[in-house]
Amino acid sequence: MQNVTPMLARKDDRDREPSWSLPGGVVGFASYWFALAIPFVLYGANTLFFFLYTWPLFLALLPVSVLIGIATSVLLRSHLLLTIVVTLAMVICLFWLLFSFLSGW
């Protein structure tokens, strides 16, 4: 006779759908380009001269934005609408923080 302890199967573990990271990555990538366009809309073509010297810092936010989208998608269990809103808000805040810090406002 084997010494076996029966394990109770949790019903909610079986009912959960697996969360995929691809939609979160796409949302993070799109949020990056949307946040990059906001200074151009607010300040016009003069923003291009500002980005001429600071482009490496803003380019470094691209993988951060994608990772934020992936993490948000996984944490919110692939609720796409909520993932879009949260990721967009976080990436815009990141861009505005960096833009404000560099421009001295």
- The answer to whether residue 58 sits within a structural domain is yes
Note whether residue 81 is domain-resident.
yes
In a domain, 7, yes or no: no
C-alpha–C-alpha distance, residues 38 and 44, integer Å: 10
Residue 26 lies in a domain: yes
How many domains does the chain contain in total?
1
Least confident residue range of 10-19, 60-69, 76-85, 95-104: 10-19
**Any domain includes 1:** no
42-93 tens-digit pLDDT: 989 888 998 899 999 999 999 999 999 999 999 998 789 999 999 999 999 9
Contact in structure between 77 and 20 (CB atoms under 8 Å): no
Domain span at residue 64 reads: 20-103
Whether the CB-CB separation of 31 and 88 falls below 8 Å is answered with: yes
Give a yes or no: residue 15 inside a domain. no
Residue the block writes with tokens 């302890």: 5
Is pLDDT of 11 > 60?
A: no
Give the integer Cα–Cα distance in Å for 102 and 67: 23
